[in-house]
């Protein structure tokens, strides 16, 4: 009996992976322009890390984490998100002593036990970025500008930036209580999840996608009407900076984040191309998170991008695999041996060369060259080896030229920029 992959954990195959690599490289290119460095953390962390950072009453901690006990009775969890592990690494390695401002980005798999659906899986991949050490609204605007630039570089323009402010520990408690009072009067019209969490995590009710909950909360009090002066000033400055950078945005007072650590600026990149899973990137400020995890009292802001959803928008198969610069078709044992050596020599100087590894007919070899979309082909046989010459065929132009085999590498180095 064949063994299949675990439900909700998918293979990414050749023909698909090129789109992933394209998006990942665009992220690296854009993030590095803004001074971000890559950080890599383990996929397994202590369960306590996520309970303390994400919040005990969140859906992630209550229902979705892959947690287990190892042979030493340690409670461990496959990371369900990327910010908390980055904060743990930041604190443990004392990165704040190297530079007062840390700009970090990460890329890798996350794990949540959810019902698999389009763009939402149990093993999923995120691109994320974090800035630690800056409270200024200028960095909020820079993070949003970087996110905007990334989507432009990736060629994805069907997104809209939504921003909001969730206030801070000084002003949010009063709003939270007023929201709870509002929801209590409409409790019977809320979905089961919102009935369960309306007191412990009332902001999530406002963001619920169930139609009944959306209708019930239409007149809910707005967090923007309850901001303290400091939060109001911060949010106004973020918007001023965004306008100065000419980056379009929408203020969405109903947009909240599902994790407890968010304060002040929150944001999402949303699209109308993916149905109910309309957020392709999301993030915000988490000014108290580092300190709550045992680190210094440093502010922070960051975001995560769901790669699966981004790939759906970009379209798998749109980014083509690299084509061989040259395919060496060989006839006979001596020619095959020579072609193998030529391939290795070409590869050493950066030329993508392919050969046939079995003694197939010339027709079969050229058929494979066409399938691989090789730019050039070279046929080697006993005659070509004796004369030291062969014909190099340009497959795009259907033109052939005689070439000295001793000058093949030099010739292909000249052609390689256009061959790619």
pLDDT of residue 420: 47
* Residue-by-residue DSSP string for 117-134: BTTB-SEEEEEEEEEES-
Give the span between the Cα atoms of 180 and 176, in whole angstroms. Answer: 6
DSSP state of 76: E
Q: Which of 248, 64, 74 is nearest to 145 (CA)?
A: 248
Beta strands in 262-339 (DSSP E): 263-270, 279-285, 300-306, 326-330
* 56: Cβ contacts below 8 Å, ≥ 6 apart: 62
State pTM to two decimals: 0.86
> Rounded to the nearest 5°, which phi and psi values hold at 222?
-90, 135
Beta strands in 21-101 (DSSP E): 37-38, 44-46, 66-69, 75-78
pLDDT of residue 314: 86
* 397: Cβ contacts below 8 Å, ≥ 6 apart: none
pLDDT of residue 212: 83
Burial annotation 271-299 (CB, 10 A radius, 16+ → b, else e): beebeebbbbbbbbbbbbbbeebebeebb
**Is the CB of residue 171 less than 8 Å from the CB of residue 228?**
yes
List residues bridging with 123 in a β-sheet.
Answer: 111
Block means of pLDDT (10 residues each) for the chain, 420 residues, are 92 91 96 96 95 77 88 94 95 95 96 84 95 96 96 91 92 87 84 82 81 84 90 96 95 78 91 76 93 94 94 78 92 93 94 92 93 94 92 91 92 75
Give the span between the Cα atoms of 47 and 67, in whole angstroms. Answer: 7
Please name each of the domains of the chain with its CATH number.
Answer: 17-171+227-314 (3.30.930.10), 326-419 (3.40.50.800)
């Amino acid at each position: 009996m064949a063994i299949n992959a675990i439900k909700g954990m998918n293979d990414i195959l050749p023909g698909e992976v090129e789109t992933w690599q394209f998006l990942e490289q665009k992220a690296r290119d854009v993030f590095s322009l803004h001074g971000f460095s890559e950080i890599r953390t383990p996929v397994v962390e202590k369960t306590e890390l996520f309970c303390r950072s994400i919040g005990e009453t969140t859906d992630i901690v209550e229902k979705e984490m892959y947690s287990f006990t190892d042979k030493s009775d340690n409670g461990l969890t496959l990371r369900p998100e990327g910010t908390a592990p980055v904060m743990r690494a930041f604190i443990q390695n004392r990165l704040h002593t190297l530079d007062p401002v840390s700009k970090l980005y990460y890329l890798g798999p996350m794990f949540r036990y959810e019902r698999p659906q389009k763009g939402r899986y149990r093993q999923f991949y995120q691109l994320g970025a974090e800035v630690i050490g800056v409270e200024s609204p200028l960095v909020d605007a820079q993070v949003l500008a970087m996110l905007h630039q990334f989507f432009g570089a990736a060629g994805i323009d069907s997104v809209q930036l939504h921003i909001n402010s969730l206030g801070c520990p000084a002003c949010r408690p009063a709003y939270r209580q007023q929201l709870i009072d509002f929801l209590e009067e409409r409790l019977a019209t809320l979905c089961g999840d919102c009935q369960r969490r309306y007191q412990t995590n009332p902001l999530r009710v406002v963001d619920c996608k169930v139609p009944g909950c959306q209708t019930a909360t239409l007149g809910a009090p707005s967090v923007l009407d309850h901001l303290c002066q400091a939060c109001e000033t911060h949010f106004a400055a973020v918007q001023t900076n965004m306008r100065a950078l000419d980056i379009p945005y929408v203020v969405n007072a109903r947009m909240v984040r599902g994790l407890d650590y968010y304060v002040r600026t929150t944001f999402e990149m949303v699209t109308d191309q993916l149905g109910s899973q309309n957020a392709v990137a999301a993030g915000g400020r988490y000014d108290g998170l580092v300190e709550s995890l045992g680190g210094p009292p440093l502010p922070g802001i960051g975001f995560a991008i769901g790669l699966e959803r981004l790939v759906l928008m970009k379209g798998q198969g749109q980014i083509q695999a690299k084509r061989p610069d040259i395919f060496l078709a060989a006839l006979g044992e001596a020619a095959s041996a020579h072609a193998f050596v030529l391939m290795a020599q070409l590869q050493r100087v950066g030329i993508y060369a392919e050969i046939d590894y079995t003694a197939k007919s010339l027709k079969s070899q050229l058929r494979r060259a066409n399938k691989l979309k090789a730019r050039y082909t070279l046929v080697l046989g006993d005659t070509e080896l004796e004369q030291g010459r062969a014909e190099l065929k340009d497959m795009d132009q259907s033109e052939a030229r005689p070439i000295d085999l001793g000058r093949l590498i030099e010739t292909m180095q000249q052609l390689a920029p256009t061959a790619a």
